[in-house]
Amino acid sequence: MSRQTYRVCFCCRRSFKVTAPPVPGDVKDLFQRYSENGVMSVDQLQRFLIEVQKEGGATREDAQGIVDRLREQGRFHIFHRTGLTLDDFFSYLFGEINPPLSPNLGVHHDMNAPLSHYYIYTGHNSYLTGNQLSSDCSDKPIIDALKKGVRVIELDIWPNSNKDDVHVLHGRTLTTPVELIKCLKSIKEHAFVASDYPVVITLEDHLTADLQAKVAEMVTQTFGDVLFSPGPECLKEFPSPESLKKRVIISTKPPKEYLQAKKPTEKEVDSQRGKAGDEEAWGKEVPDLREDILNDDKDDDDEEEDEVDDDEDDGVGGNKPQQKAAPEYKRLIAIHAGKPKGGLDEGLKVDPDKVRRLSLSEQQLEKAVVTHAKEIVRFTQRNILRIYPKGTRITSSNYNPLIGWSHGAQMVAFNMQGYGRSLWLMQGMFRANGGCGYIKKPDFLLKSGPLNDLFDPKAPLPVKTKLKVTVYMGEGWHQDFDSTHFDLYSPPDFYARVGIAGVRADRVMKKTKTLEDNWIPVWNEYFVFPLTVPELALLRIEVHEYDMSEKDDFGGQTCLPVSELRSGIRMVSLHDLKGEKYKFVKLLMRFEFLDPSTEE
């Protein structure tokens, strides 16, 4: 039931009544416990921050700062200048100043380890504006990705029609090209808008030696001293993100063949469309690793023709006479890349004298983790593993990133121009560590155990902690959506889905009851999630509107790294399908970390 509360006009400082959402019973009880005579003093608020919100270092000044901010926002009750009323307290809890991730945490991981010790926010076909077959190529999606903190940009480089310049496009498709120089200039301009940590450009190279030399000149002139170029030889160890701040790094396989693009036939395009399949409006549920993956005989060849074995037919234009690659181009390549030759046993060997990047498709990874899980983990302790989407993801959909992350893969490459649940996991993961695009991998993926054993995400593990999540209520839909968006003649029927993405033992989704005809749903339900590997766990939150006759309507989502989740009652902003935050839609939730032995 809604209630009346006071707000203060900024102009005349007069108070006025507005309709406000109901205060949950738990919030009322906590206010009673930490207040006297209907007012919570600054000292009592400090005690609440320490005891309930688990902000152990909260000072009286912190509590006073909350009071001052509420007053500045006009949300402070006019009759009580020295403390908080229940309405003021609720405004604090359900306000922007009380998010689930600390706004002051910033970059707090150790950034002085080698690059191989970090998950890196990685894009795939970063130049595409839409689908993989016929959308435009542009520098705009590259700019958008960099602004969101993506640190790895992929460019497919091909000769133009006159063979005298270099274009970026998705080869053997109908995508329209964009000039390479335009993409490079945009990367330089926007590389460090969201983060100072290095940007890696992965090149999928289909050029002749003379055009490679032209690329070398473009890259050198565009980036100058910003470019990290250690020389033509493989690095013995990767530098750290800290040492590479505001640097640009080139990664590709030094090519030996010129791979000619050919325009696809209508039959080939139609065939690829047929493989794409239909996706639900917000994407299918994130798939887990299939146990029968070894029986999957689907073709998983992808677009990375530059990484075929040197003596293999590329399947496009046949074998071409080998040419010596331009030496100035080779010198640009800081992270040498390739695909496994001689099978996984050979491809995953760790060389003590050099480091490199290995690329696998999502299907190759799914097969490899069944047969070579420990070898993958060992390989990624020193080297970089890049995973890319299978070629049949024509709609720019994505896959489950946790399979790669749980085996140490640093570059899980995603189609950032798509949307859906998999992309929400990617966005949630990289909200950690100040959103800088680099996240330190857990220690158990970086070193062997006491018996020289390696982490196995499928192995049964004890529960480390339990996360109790209470979903109190939500509001804001009537402001961010039209009144008839969900139902033409009645208020919406909302329900929430809450769960965990992580290793298989932790993966689960649960659902609240559906509340009929209510723009401000009050669920007051809680769920307990036992976590065996909380370091890799992501909290998934979605709201949908129940529709009896059609598919349920989407009402918002977010994904949060459990490792940085703040205990206590928090305001959780929801985002749209593509990950953009709504202006008003939000939930009031509580997060509590419990001892593993605690009864649910």
- Residue 86 pLDDT: 96
Q: What is the mean pLDDT of residues 563-591?
A: 97
Tally Cβ neighbours within 10 Å of residue 194: 18
Confidence at 267, pLDDT banded by 50, 70, 90: low
Q: Token pair of 167, please?
A: 């274009």
- Contact (Cβ atoms closer than 8 angstroms) between residue 47 and residue 60: no
- Distance between CA 87 and CA 370 in Å, rounded? 55
Q: Position of tokens 């100058």?
A: 224
- Whether the pLDDT of residue 317 is over 50: the answer is no
- Whether the pLDDT of residue 80 is over 80: the answer is no
- Whether the pLDDT of residue 586 is over 60: the answer is yes
- Residue 598 pLDDT: 83
Give the closest residue to 532 by CA, choosing from 596, 593, 487, 597. 596
H/E segment holding residue 590 = strand 581-594
Q: Is 519 helix (H, G, I), strand (E, B) or coil?
A: coil
- Distance between CA 240 and CA 278 in Å, rounded? 42
- Residue 282 pLDDT: 57
Q: What is the mean pLDDT of residues 191-208?
A: 96
Confidence at 261, pLDDT banded by 50, 70, 90: very low
- Whether the pLDDT of residue 311 is over 90: the answer is no
Q: What is the mean pLDDT of residues 423-443?
A: 98
- Whether the pLDDT of residue 305 is over 60: the answer is no
- Contact (Cβ atoms closer than 8 angstroms) between residue 44 and residue 38: no
- Whether the pLDDT of residue 64 is over 90: the answer is yes
Q: Is 535 helix (H, G, I), strand (E, B) or coil?
A: helix
Q: What is the mean pLDDT of residues 126-155?
A: 97
What does the pLDDT look like over 160-188, one tens digit per residue? 999 999 999 999 899 999 999 999 999 99
- Residue 290 pLDDT: 61
Tally Cβ neighbours within 10 Å of residue 313: 11
Q: Position of tokens 């570059």?
A: 411
Q: What is the mean pLDDT of residues 445-471?
A: 91
What percent of the chain is modeled with pLDDT above 90? 76
Q: What is the mean pLDDT of residues 177-204?
A: 98
- φ, ψ at 304 (rounded to 5°): -85, 65
Q: What is the mean pLDDT of residues 456-481?
A: 96
Pairing of strands 581-594, 568-575: antiparallel
- Distance between CA 3 and CA 542 in Å, rounded? 27
Q: Position of tokens 């549920």?
A: 285
What percent of the chain is modeled with pLDDT above 70? 84
- Residue 449 pLDDT: 73
Find the range with the poorest average confidence among 30-34, 134-138, 232-236, 525-529: 232-236
Q: Token pair of 371, please?
A: 């047969």
Q: Position of tokens 């469309």?
A: 273
Among residues 124, 407, 544, 575, the one annotated as catalytic is 124
Tally Cβ neighbours within 10 Å of residue 245: 13
Question: How does DSSP classify residue 122?
Answer: B
- Whether the pLDDT of residue 307 is over 90: the answer is no
- Whether the pLDDT of residue 600 is over 80: the answer is no
Amino acid of residue 124: H
Whether 170 is a known active-site residue: answer: yes
Q: Kindly state the greatest CA–CA separation across the chain.
A: 88
pTM of full prediction above 0.85: yes
- Distance between CA 251 and CA 338 in Å, rounded? 10
Among residues 77, 117, 167, 170, the one annotated as catalytic is 170
- Whether the pLDDT of residue 45 is over 70: the answer is yes
Whether 124 is a known active-site residue: answer: yes
- Whether the pLDDT of residue 479 is over 70: the answer is yes
Average pLDDT, the chain: 87
- Residue 499 pLDDT: 98
Find the range with the poorest average confidence among 39-48, 74-83, 263-272: 263-272
